[in-house]
Amino acid sequence: MKFLGTFSLPGDKSIAHRALIVCSWYKGNHSIKNFPKNEDVLTTLEALKLNGLKYVFDNNSIHIDSTKFDFKESEINCNSSGTSARLLCGYLAGASIKTKIFGSDSLTMRPMDRICNPLNEFGAKIKSSNGFLPIHINYSSNRKSFKYDLKIPSAQIKASLIFYAMFMNGRSSITGSIYTRDHLEKLLRYVNYPIKQKESAIHIKGCDRISKNLNLELCGDISSASFMIAGAVLLKDSAIKIKKVCFNNYRLGFFDKLIAMGANISFSNERYICGERVADIEAKYSPNLKGIKITLNDVPSIIDEIPILSIVALYTKGITVIEGVNELKIKESNRVEAIIHNAIKMGGSIKYKDNSLQINPKNKLYNATIDTFNDHRIFMTFFIANLVAGNKLNFNLKDNSYKKSFIEFFDILKEISK
């Protein structure tokens, strides 16, 4: 089997969440082209619908009417979407709307105090269940701007605080670990919202909501691209081109590490779409890969791609070490355990030690039935791993966890598999 062809991907999931909330902020009639209909993004959409947002789908676009959007008391089911829960928490706390946010069992295991604590520090009134869901947002009369030194390099925390600041009087500032994916900052600047970044600080001016129509387009999801690119790099005689992929500086770690391993990857046709840099990406079979060391500072830019990068590392010459992986333990599953468990089932050698993954490509991989732990990235990672290993797949295709982020996963695989 090999991967061949040129194709595009649905819009980036991270940007889509933010674009929906921004469209609700501006009262008007909006459109978003290349809108992804994965379960996570639809969770945010349905939460906004509870507050009066109306929408219709038109092929791969969504048309939104937010003219009657108004915050109201509600109970919001965020299902398994951590992005929905954390971004909406900041947004609704800023609006000071009494809200209960809850979710699935897996989401209930993910920490929310990293969002709730700073928001409460700046005047919000949020109660959590010992730092986890469900959380209850209550009315607060606070409208004071704030300054916050961000300790955890998390784009979700940063975006939540930005949404909160949009409701405050005056100018709020966020400093510290702000150098993470900056989709919200770029989008707000694109629609001329008063947000600026000077040196090591983001400054957000609180504003009244106004009437404005937005016409947006989303670039292809870079995390979804990683699975197809990994397959192309590992499958003999493969050559693919993915058009109009998100090329955000804080999302390029996966490509940087593959290239450092010796992967045949190139970029072309760089341009901007709605403030985001995009590019066409080509990937070809790369038979001479080598192991590398990935440091703690590298992890924020590859956090979603570490599972599939681990599979590539099992086909290199030499050991790969990925430091600083503990954040993977609090994703949809404990991804550290899930990676090791499934790699061992396939005959691979991956160990965890001192907050690091140690990947030794000493063994040939074989097909195996995979335990996905209901985690979309584990499902897609080891589906690709089984394709590369060859022979008959043993997946239980009743497992639909991939739909959380990439509903078109199988459609595109069928298109490019030769």
Q: Taking the CA of residue 252 as centre, how many other CA atoms within 13 Å lie in the half-sphere pointing to its CB?
A: 14
99 vs 217: CA distance, rounded Å = 30
Residue that the structure tokens 């008063």 belong to:
194
Counting residues of the chain whose pLDDT is more than 90, the rounded percentage is 94
Angle at the Cα of 365 (from 363 to 366), degrees rounded to 5?
135
Residue 175, classed as helix, strand or coil, is strand
Give residue-wise pLDDT tens across range 350-361.
999 999 999 999
Q: What is the pLDDT of residue 398?
A: 78
Give residue-wise pLDDT tens across range 134-150.
999 999 999 999 999 99
Give residue-wise pLDDT tens across range 284-338.
999 999 999 999 999 989 999 999 999 999 999 999 999 999 999 999 999 999 9
29 Cβ partners below 8 Å, 6+ apart?
Answer: 63, 64, 65, 66, 67, 213
The model's pTM is: 0.95
* Cβ count near 66 (within 10 Å): 27
Q: Which amino acid is at 329?
A: K
Sheet containing strand 99-102, edge to edge, reads 74-77, 99-102, 132-138, 125-129
Q: What is the pLDDT of residue 199?
A: 82
Average pLDDT rounded to a whole number, residues 121-138: 96
- Our answer to whether residue 58 is catalytic in this structure is no
Phi and psi based region of residue 237 (left: phi greater than 0; alpha: psi -120 to 50; beta: remaining): left
Average pLDDT rounded to a whole number, residues 233-248: 97
Q: What is the pLDDT of residue 141?
A: 94
Q: What is the pLDDT of residue 392?
A: 54
Which of 304, 354, 399, 411 does the annotation list as catalytic? 304
Q: What is the pLDDT of residue 92?
A: 97
379 vs 334: CA distance, rounded Å = 13
340 pLDDT above the threshold of 60: yes
Residue 45 pLDDT level (bands cut at 50, 70, 90): very high
Give residue-wise pLDDT tens across range 48-76.
999 999 999 999 999 999 999 999 999 99
Crossing angle of helices 82-95 and 155-165, rounded to 10°: 20
Sheet containing strand 201-205, edge to edge, reads 147-150, 171-176, 201-205, 195-198
Structural domains for the chain: 12-217 (3.65.10.10), 218-416 (3.65.10.10)
Give residue-wise pLDDT tens across range 71-116.
999 999 999 999 999 999 999 999 999 999 999 999 999 999 999 9
- Asked if 141 and 94 touch (Cβ cutoff 8 Å), the reply is no
- Asked if 313 and 385 touch (Cβ cutoff 8 Å), the reply is no
Structure tokens at 329: 């333990």
218 pLDDT above the threshold of 90: yes
Residue 198, classed as helix, strand or coil, is strand
Structure tokens at 407: 């509903």
* Nearest CA among 82, 75, 68, 119 for reference residue 99: 75
DSSP-derived secondary structure letter, 220:
B
Q: What is the pLDDT of residue 393?
A: 52
